[in-house]
């Protein structure tokens, strides 16, 4: 069965004349689901679905791919069709159906070469639903968990690099949320509570820009309170941990002023 790693790539080729005729009929009918689909072979139906998805007609694509998964689940294109169906649902923001189809691929076709792709795209389904930093981050955490599982399970997959990038973006969102909480406590004139959140950002999200900003803010808060030794410690922490960064350069400058 499936031998691709991304998109509804089509191995299926229309039988002579039939596929072209079907495509022409679909275009004339305004791309609505056609009774001719019922006369098409699984290969032709899959090709029609691929073409429809490529031009953004996801309703027709869903109709075509669903027909394959329901009517010919043992056909060689069935696993491709199931992933492509999930992709089409995700493109229309029907995340519940997309998740169901990716999971069906894993359970119904556990030996398919498309299982790693389905695991990755399941993570993207959660990623697509993750909210901005100021809002609930439960879906962000779910996306991170799924993408980390994918990387651990399929380290050789071509999707690993993209998965790592997505995880970093999601982790940055979580770090921003804690950083924003610290900023709120500073506004409420509660620097001790603010520094608790800043330290959480530093320890839990060291790979994000928010960690560097958090150290800088801690140093400045100690300096504003007259705690010179603690401020110097945080400035040096930033300089030593993140050398060559813009924040480290700022820390060096402010440390020099503090020391004079």
Distance between CA atoms of residues 44 and 72, nearest Å: 13
Two tokens at 141? Answer: 């955490």
Angle at the Cα of 139 from the Cα atoms of 161 and 54, rounded to 5 degrees: 55
Closest CA to 80 of 40, 53, 59: 53
> In sequence order, what are the residues at sequence separation of 6 or more whose Cβ sits closer than 8 angstroms to the Cβ of residue 49?
8, 60, 61, 63, 64, 65, 68, 81, 84, 88
Q: Tell me what pLDDT residue 23 has.
A: 45
d(CA 80, CA 105): 9
Average pLDDT over the chain reads 89
pLDDT value of residue 260? 83
Q: What is the pLDDT of residue 37?
A: 65
Mean pLDDT of 64-68: 96
Report the percent of the chain where pLDDT is more than 90: 83
Instruction: Tell me the mean pLDDT in the region 200-222.
Output: 98
What digits encode the pLDDT tens for the residues 75-111?
Answer: 999 999 999 999 999 999 999 999 999 999 999 999 9
Q: What is the pLDDT of residues 125-174, one digit of tens each?
A: 999 999 999 999 999 999 999 999 999 999 999 999 999 999 999 999 99
| Phi, psi (deg, nearest 5) at residue 67 | -60, -40
> What does the alpha-carbon distance between residue 250 and residue 237 come to, in Å, rounded to a whole number?
13
pLDDT 10s digits, 6-60: 444 434 434 434 444 444 444 444 444 444 566 789 999 999 999 999 999 999 9
- Please report the pLDDT score of residue 40 as a whole number: 81
What average pLDDT does this structure show over 187-214? 98
Residue 18: its pLDDT value, please? 44
Residues 171-194: what's their mean pLDDT?
97
- Domain ranges (residues) in the chain: 1-91
Q: Mean pLDDT check: name the lowest of 14-18, 140-144, 183-187, 197-201.
A: 14-18
Residue 4 has pLDDT above 90, yes or no: no
Residues 6+ apart with CB under 8 A from 7: 84, 87
């Amino acid at each position: 069965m499936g031998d691709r790693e991304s998109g509804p790539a089509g191995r299926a080729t229309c039988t002579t004349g039939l596929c072209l005729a079907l495509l022409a009929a679909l275009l004339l009918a305004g791309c609505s689901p056609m009774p001719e689909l019922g006369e098409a072979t699984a290969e032709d139906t899959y090709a029609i679905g691929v073409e429809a998805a490529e031009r953004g007609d996801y309703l027709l694509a869903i109709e075509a791919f669903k027909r394959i998964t329901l009517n010919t689940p043992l056909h060689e294109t069935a696993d491709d069709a199931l992933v492509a169906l999930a992709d089409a649902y995700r493109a229309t923001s029907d995340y519940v159906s997309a998740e169901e189809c990716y999971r069906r691929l894993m359970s119904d076709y556990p030996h398919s070469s498309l299982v790693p792709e389905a695991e990755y795209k399941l993570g993207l389904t959660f990623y697509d639903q993750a909210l901005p930093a100021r809002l609930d981050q439960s879906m962000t955490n779910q996306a991170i968990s799924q993408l980390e599982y994918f990387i651990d399970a399929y380290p050789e997959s071509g999707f690993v690099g993209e998965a790592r990038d997505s995880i970093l973006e999601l982790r940055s969102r979580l770090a921003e949320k804690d950083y924003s909480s610290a900023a709120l406590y500073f506004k409420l004139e509660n620097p001790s509570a603010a520094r608790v959140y800043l330290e959480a950002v530093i320890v839990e999200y060291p790979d994000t820009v928010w960690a560097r900003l958090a150290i800088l803010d801690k140093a400045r808060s100690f300096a504003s309170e007259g705690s010179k030794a603690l401020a110097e410690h945080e400035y040096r922490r930033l300089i030593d941990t993140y050398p060559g960064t813009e924040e480290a350069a700022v820390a060096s400058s402010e440390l020099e002023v503090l020391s004079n």
